[in-house]
Structure 1
Amino acid sequence: MALPVTYDHVAQAAQRLDGIAHRTPVLTSRTLDARTQAAVALKCENFQRTGAFKIRGAYNALTRLVADTEATDVLTYSSGNHAQAVALAARELGVAAHIIMPENAPTVKLDATAGYGADIITYDPEATTREALADDVATTHGWPIIPPYDHPDVVAGQGTVGDELLTDVPELDMLLVCCGGGGLLSGCAIAAKERAPGCTVIGVEPARADDATRSFHTGRLHTVHNPDTIADGARTPSLGEVTFPLVQAHVDDMVTVSEAAIKRAMYFLWTRMKLVVEPTGALATAALLSGAVGAPGQTVGAIISGGNVDMARAAALFEDV
């Protein structure tokens, strides 16, 4: 079966994103290396525009949509980071953005999305799903949908994160990537298998939202409904029709980490490396620090996907670390 995204698509996305997305830094820590017995390179997308990697996929997809259809409005749904990314990309391309967001989304993400000029449509996640609401709104208004992960152009854009990391650290033995709907994971895996075929790619999920891990290990798509995890970017119901086969084809393993491990990784990154990282962004680092993944003597890349964290919530999280 022909896969919907290849490395050529990632390379083309990189060209579209040149001058749009930041070339984010790769940081290291002697303390982190000592604790994990590995040489760890952290790709810091918390320094990306909008505070997360999502601008890459959103801008790539929206640029192609506008070129192909001359769309004047776009619709999406997101707990926050993709929402901000689509809002910013739309503003720069002169398109009106309409964003479906849960009522309990972090205030920092709601405020930022509104600040980029988007029209926000809130919903109760206990009463409906964002996908169902998006279908209704799209049907009513005729607006095209750019989903947060299950879209070939979104995946290709997210893959530029891994592509950049492998340019800076070409000798990677292992790559750890957080996983919600699988857009970042599948895109980075495509880049890794092209740039460093021997690199082991591992996706990391919260144990409370382990649908992708179960799907990977069984070969059947599993779902989860509104999982109770602090990693709000990983509360996606399942991998998608685009991302699931890509994960199966390019990812070597999937693991999960506990809520406590996520908190400890966040605390380490904040206090020892002075990096403001949100819970989802700490998943890859949590896998190393908790021992869910061991890589003694290896060179390991870990993606920090974002840093859009509610400060009040973060302070509360750290109370029991």
Structure 2
Amino acid sequence: MTTMLVPSLDHLRQAYAVTAKATQITPLLESAALARETGAARVFIKPESLQWAGSFKVRGAYWRLKRLSPDEAKKGVVAYSSGNFAQGLAAAGQALGIPVTIVMPIDAPAAKRDATAGYGARVVLTDHGERAREEVAAAKAREIAETENLTLLHPFDDPEIVAGQAGAGLEALEQLDAKGASADLLFCSVGGGGLIGGVSLAFHYLSPATEIIGVEPEGFNGMGSSLAHGAIETMPIGPKSICDGLMSRRPGEAPFAAVKTAGVRGITVDDASVRNAMRIAFERMKLVLEPSGAASLAALLGGKVDVAGRTVLVVATGGNVSLADFMAHMNHA
């Protein structure tokens, strides 16, 4: 494991060289319709929803498991997750033959719980009541790690996770270059910050002129608030968001260090704008996105950031949503 809180470009490339052989190359889709609608020069969508296990999470999970010692890999790992990291880690563990235990909040979407178990992971559910769900799940994961002598993995606060997730950014940069384009502006959703940590570093090192916007649900803007105040802040427990994968109350130290280095700034989106983005992604791009995966597109469409005449990249982070839930959101949109 790296001891650096902010991985170097060489480290990002080292991780990508490994994960690229084990993950899907997700396409870079251009939408002339979205460019016309928003006034942007060009709009590109990077649908990590089409990644193995339905989101970008498998990139960081696979790389983190590859960094285990032989003894750690034999004993297995435990982590907590509301869904997408759970699936990504379970899928990576299955591919590498490493036992995986996942602690999930009892209100995590059933589709995500079932998919995690389907990849061979042991799933343990926690009932958080009025407490912060990730704190309850994290405590249970620590307990299991101690009693069963498993390696405890954090879903986002780990420089190796950040390095692995950077593969999405490095891949997008390669694809943009192949199209003779460069991004003036990048929208990426934020939960704990692992993805935007890695992607923002990739662009910071290789496309420093790109402005990077971190997108969070209203009430869960721990990263944006932390960036604005220059130190990590914890948001109070408030109403839920439909973006179940982005309901972290505070960013991780490793992701925060990365996004601070890269000069990221944050904005928020509400549930209605996310549902609208899900609808537009389906109608215009033929993409099925979960709410968390559509938050970045909602930011582009919401008009809070001036995109006129600019080339925009939107990272659509995941598509793990059941048909019933997707239709329910569409009926609200």
In structure 2, the gaps of 5 or more residues are none
Counterpart position of 1:135: 142
SS at match of 1:101: strand
Matched with 1:264 is: 276
CA drift of 1:246 comes to 1.4
Residue 125 of structure 1 aligns to a residue whose secondary structure is coil
SS in 1 for 2:152: coil
- Of 162, 175, 199, the match for 1:188: 199
Say whether the 8 Å CA contact 2:72–2:150 is kept in structure 1. Answer: no
Report how far residue 208 of structure 1 moved: 2.4
After superposition, the Cα gap between the structure-2 partners of 1:187 and 1:245, relative to the gap in structure 1 and judged at 3 Å, is same
Once the two structures are TM-superposed, the CA of residue 69 in structure 1 deviates from its matched residue by: 4.2
Cα contact 1:203–1:251 (8 A) shared by 2: no
Say whether residues 1:56 and 2:59 are aligned partners: yes
Q: Deviations over 1:140-163 (max 9, x none)?
A: 111111211111111111011011
Residue identity over aligned pairs, in percent, reads 38
2:287 is aligned, of 270, 275, 285, to: 275
Deviations 1:205-241 (A, max 9, x none): 0112111111111112222337500001101121112
CA contact (8 A) 1:206 1:283 kept: yes
Structure 1 residues 106 and 156: alpha-carbon distance in aligned structure 2, compared to 1, 3 A threshold: same
Number of the residue aligned with 1:308? 320
Hey, what does 1:150 align to over in structure 2?
Answer: 157
Cα contact 2:221–2:268 (8 A) shared by 1: yes
Q: Distance in 2 between matches of 1:111 and 1:226?
A: 27
Give the one of 233, 236, 249 matched to 1:222.
Answer: 233
CA distance in 1, matches of 2:315, 2:123: 29
* Aligned residue runs from structure 1 range 1-80, under 5 A: 3-38=5-40, 39-67=42-70, 69-80=72-83
3-state secondary structure, aligned to 1:284:
helix
Aligned residues: 321
Contact 2:65 2:73 in 1 (8 A): no
Query: Superposed, which structure 2 residues align to 1:230-269 within 5 Å?
Result: 230-269=242-281
- Per the normalisation by structure 1, the TM-score is 0.96
Q: 1:62-141 maps to which residues of 2 (within 5 A)?
A: 62-67=65-70, 69-126=72-129, 129-141=136-148
Q: Give per-residue Cα distances to partners, 1:82-103, cap 9 Å, x unaligned.
A: 1011111111111111000111
What code does the residue aligned with 1:12 have? Q
Are the aligned partners of 1:97 and 1:119 in contact in 2 as well (CA < 8 Å)? yes
The aligned amino acid for 1:51 is G
1:162 aligned onto 2:169: yes
| 2:92 alignment partner, SS class | helix
SS at match of 2:153: coil
State the Cα distance separating 1:191 from its structure 2 match.
Answer: 0.2
Question: Given the two structures, how large is their TM-score scaled by the length of structure 2?
Answer: 0.92
For residue 251 of structure 1, report the CA deviation from its aligned partner.
3.1
Contact kept, 8 Å, 2:20 with 2:167, in 1: the verdict is: no
CA shift digits 1:269-304 (9 cap, x unpaired): 012211000111111111110112221111111101
1:79·1:105 contact (CA, 8 Å) conserved in 2? yes
How far apart, CA to CA, are the structure 2 residues paired with 1:264 and 1:43?
A: 18
1:296 paired with 2:303, answer: no
The 8 Å contact of residues 62 and 146 in structure 1, kept in 2 or not, is answered as no
Contact 1:186 1:251 in 2 (8 A): no
Alpha-carbon distance change, 69 to 118 in structure 1, aligned in 2, over 3 angstroms: closer
1:135-183 deviation per Cα after TM superposition (whole angstroms, max 9, x unaligned): 1111111111121111111111101101111111141111111000010
Cα offset for 1:310? 2.0
CA distance in 2, matches of 1:232, 1:260: 14
Aligned residue for 1:320? 332
Contact 1:125 1:226 (C-alpha < 8 Å) held by counterparts: no
Q: What is the rounded CA distance, in whole Å, between the counterparts of 1:215 and 1:282 in structure 2?
A: 23
The one-letter amino acid of 1:266's match is: M
Amino acid at match of 1:73: G
| Bigger mean CA offset, 70-79 vs 47-56 | 70-79
